[in-house]
Structure 1
């Protein structure tokens, strides 16, 4: 279903703000996890505007499964790109450290559990993915402008 252009622009404008970046990391993931469980993996609230997955990765320090709802960019070849933007916060999100240490993970995508292998994108491959992501969701540029770190991008390939 196509989203109204005005609504998409409004959400993009709001999601680019510093206020959103302060509140969203505390509110959106909790809402997504609750609704995802309630609907047995069929619905993510945040995925109503952007495609989304729930990533289950092994904790880098704890070794325990960690579930994180994330926006993603599905690619025509069947892979997915995840963006470690952390809403423009100064630190990398914890899930990126988990994937660096334990690249074998699982995603819930439209009610299906899919085993995946994560690869940190670098160099020209990262640049091409970043350009595609900016066309896909322009607010990522605002997030990148607020941080001194390079935002981590991961390609998830089904295993």
Structure 2
């Protein structure tokens, strides 16, 4: 498993400001309040990672899509920004994370999809939520698709 998408040379401006953070807090509360929180055709989960540099706990609301193998798929689109989102770098450093989805907290391991597996997953995601197709047009970065798989309970 490798997280290997470099920064692009063009793309939408990466925003991190108080308004974005406030919106994320609202979406996190929304995702936690409902067993089936959604935003249009997309369902929401809350990803909890460990900061790659800070070591601090980080929470991020993300749209997710079902994986054919029973996992959860997310797209590190950052709205077509030239840089990958911070949560992507956090997962690259610490692929074991937790997600809150469907009213439960699930320990997961993240893996980046590559090749035909990525292309097939992205095609299913775009079919379910066509707005994801536009992100590819905004940047020259290859947008990562990440699969979360539930970790087995410790013995």
TM-score > 0.5 by shorter chain: yes
* CA distance in structure 2 between the aligned counterparts of 1:41 and 1:75, rounded to whole angstroms: 21
- Which of 77, 90, 109 does residue 85 from structure 1 map onto? 77
* CA distance in structure 2 between the aligned counterparts of 1:29 and 1:103, rounded to whole angstroms: 23
- TM-score w.r.t. the length of structure 2 is 0.77
- TM-score w.r.t. the length of structure 1 is 0.76
Asked if residue 111 in structure 1 is aligned to residue 100 in structure 2, the reply is no
Determine which structure has the larger helix proportion and give its number: 1
Runs of 4+ in 1 over 6 A off after TM superposition: 21-25
For structure 1, the 5+ residue unaligned runs are 1-17
Instruction: Say how many residue pairs are matched.
Output: 139
Distance verdict in 2 for CA 1:25–1:51, change over 3 Å: farther
Asked if residue 42 in structure 1 is aligned to residue 8 in structure 2, the reply is no
Higher relative contact order (CA 8 A, sep 6+): 2
**After superposition, where does 1:1-16 map in structure 2 within 5 Å?**
none
Q: Give secondary structure in 2 for the equivalent of 1:51.
A: strand
Match of 1:156 in 2: 148
- Which of 97, 114, 119 does residue 89 from structure 2 map onto? 97
